[in-house]
Structure formats: structure tokens, C-alpha cells
Amino acid sequence: MKLAVLLLGTALAASASVIADQSALNGNSFDITDYRLADDFTPSATANLSQVRFWYQAQEQTDLTSVSYAVYADSGGAPGALLDSGTVAGPATGYDDASGLFTADFAVSPLLVSAGTSYWLELHAGTSLTDTSGLTISWAATADNATAIALQNLALATPDTPVGVAGFDQYSFVLGVSDVPEPSTAPMLAAILLGAAPAFRRRAMQLVLTRRRKK
């Protein structure tokens, strides 16, 4: 029984890891209060995306009171089908001494993403993807890389226009995930538990008989 419980706990426990990391900040940023902005990412492993961190510029750390997000499938190098979206009130914020920027961390509903497949992440400061009522928050840019150029839309529609300015083509984020167990794990554990059941019943009966003899 101890072996079965140990294996079950090991298989079901979520192990946090990083599946995408764009944290090489370059000092630039893009307004995500008045406009919409999305950047692409390609997971390094198949897993459940569940955490987002990004860096931002603002007058005060507390200026970011709500953040809305969306994750899209890729469609020809642009956001395609919407896979998940939501709004987080009061994301956990902090200050990054190394960059002089603020950080925001928040959880999302676990979303299964596949290794080697492109997706898009949109972040917007506000209670929806089109809310412009808050204080200005600017998503910090990162060093240009070989992935698709970030897309923006100044009219608050789905991001569709390449930023196309050196130093502003990619944006900061680190995506955290929960690992997905191997498909064969659950049946294996079920077999172990079912196979062990008769032994547990025999052991329980022995304990009952032993107690009766002692009386």
C-alpha cells in the first residue's frame, strides 16, 4: 500500500517549471493600457500553462490594478483561435532591482500547450482587453529574437499589425507550467491499487481475528 500511495502521489503532484522565458530586458516598453499588444511563444515541452510573469513600466508599482490576458493559437504568424482569456484583479507585483522595472505575477486556468507549437500571448492593463480607463502601464520589451515580430493594434482590435521597430519587436514574459503525467501512468497506478486490494482485505481480517483472540 505504501508503494502504491507513493507512486500515486508522485504521478499526480504538479511540478512547476518554466516553458518559455523572454526576460532579457532592453529598456524599451509599449503602452498596454491604451493599445493592444501580443507576442508569440513556442513551448519547450507539452504541459499545462498555469503561471505568467511579465515586467512593466509605470509611475508607481500599484498603478497596475488589473491585467487581462488572452492566449491564441497561431494562424500563419498571427493570433488565430482564442484558447483562453481572463482578467486578474490585483496581480502580485514587485520591483526588480536589476532592471529598475516592476514585475507582475498571476495564475491562469491550466491550459494544455504542445511542445514545438506556436501560440500568442496578449496582455492588457485593465478589466478587459479593451479597457483604457486605468493608469498607463507599459509592457517591457526584450532583446529582438528570431521568433515572429510582436503584433499591435492601436484601435483596440485583436493585435494584427507588426510593431516592426528594432528594440520593440519582442516583449517580456516567463510562463510557468504544471507537467503532464505520462499517459500510461494512470492505468499503471490503477492496476497496482486494484491488485493490492485483496491483500489489504486479508490483512484487515487478520487484525480483526488477532484482536478477538486477545479478548
In a domain, 32, yes or no: yes
pLDDT digits (tens, 9 = 90+) for 67-95: 999 999 999 999 999 999 999 999 999 99
Number of domains in the chain: 1
pLDDT digits (tens, 9 = 90+) for 94-108: 999 999 999 999 999
Tell me the residue range of the domain where 46 lies.
15-179
In a domain, 33, yes or no: yes
In a domain, 196, yes or no: no
In a domain, 4, yes or no: no
Q: pTM here?
A: 0.77
In a domain, 8, yes or no: no
The CATH number linked to 115 is 2.60.120
- Going through the chain in order, the beta strands assigned E by DSSP cover 16-22, 25-31, 36-41, 47-57, 66-74, 79-89, 92-96, 101-113, 119-125, 138-142, 151-153, 161-162, 173-179
In a domain, 58, yes or no: yes
In a domain, 153, yes or no: yes
In a domain, 56, yes or no: yes
> Contact, 35 vs 171, CB < 8 A?
no
